[in-house]
Amino acid sequence: MDSTPRGRAIIIVTQSELANEAEQFKSIFTQLLFETEVYSLITCDEIQIKLTQLANTNEYNGNAFIMMFIGNGYNENIIGYREPNDTQWPPENHNLLPISDIVATFAWTRAPVLRDKIKVFIFNCDRLRYGSWCNLVGGPIGYVTHFGQTFSHTIAQYSSYKSLIEMFVMTLNRMEDELTERRLWQLPEINMFETTKDF
């Protein structure tokens, strides 16, 4: 990933208290030479429309694509923006978007301009609704997620000579070490997937 720009980074945040974390990652990805956009407080329908537009573009500068989601999840789905008074759990189906559908939007046959590009999907979700995923930390940024805090620190330390995948693995190891010292129930569920050209 040595071209300028490296590619595009899209950050979707569906919880207002995590908007500052999304802006922090926008700054980080921009410094890593990605054209970066943040989409805040949008519903699943709006997310799907935006991602489909991105997948169907005819022109793409760079050789990598990053899509980062920051918000709640449920049962292998992301949850779009909900009004603060919407407390139904589990959420209604119209506000759930399967993670597999998002990844499939950028599959070999659906996003031809991205066929030979590196694609990274980060789903930074709280699947337990009110787990330990978000912690209020001191400082100007306010609410951050465990993953967001650890990943941003890893990027700051190692981005000059580690690949993005190496930094993900280092982040996951750091999180596991840190959270194991607390309670085991706080450990996040982390999955890494590799897709083939036939996906």
Are 13 and 40 a contacting pair, CB within 8 Å? yes
Pick from 83, 76, 103, 77: nearest CA to 41: 83
Domain residue limits, the chain: 7-186
Are 78 and 66 a contacting pair, CB within 8 Å? no
C-alpha–C-alpha distance, residues 48 and 97, integer Å: 8
CATH architecture of 7-186: 3-Layer(aba) Sandwich (3.40)
Whole-model pTM: value is 0.82
Three-state DSSP class for 106?
A: coil
| pLDDT tens column, 117-165 | 888 888 888 766 555 566 656 566 777 887 787 788 787 777 776 776 6
Which stretches of the chain drop beneath a pLDDT of 50?
1-3, 184-185, 194-199
* 20, 39, 81, 179, 196 from 97: Cα distances, Å: 23, 16, 11, 29, 22
Pick from 22, 21, 72: nearest CA to 44: 72
pLDDT at 196: 45
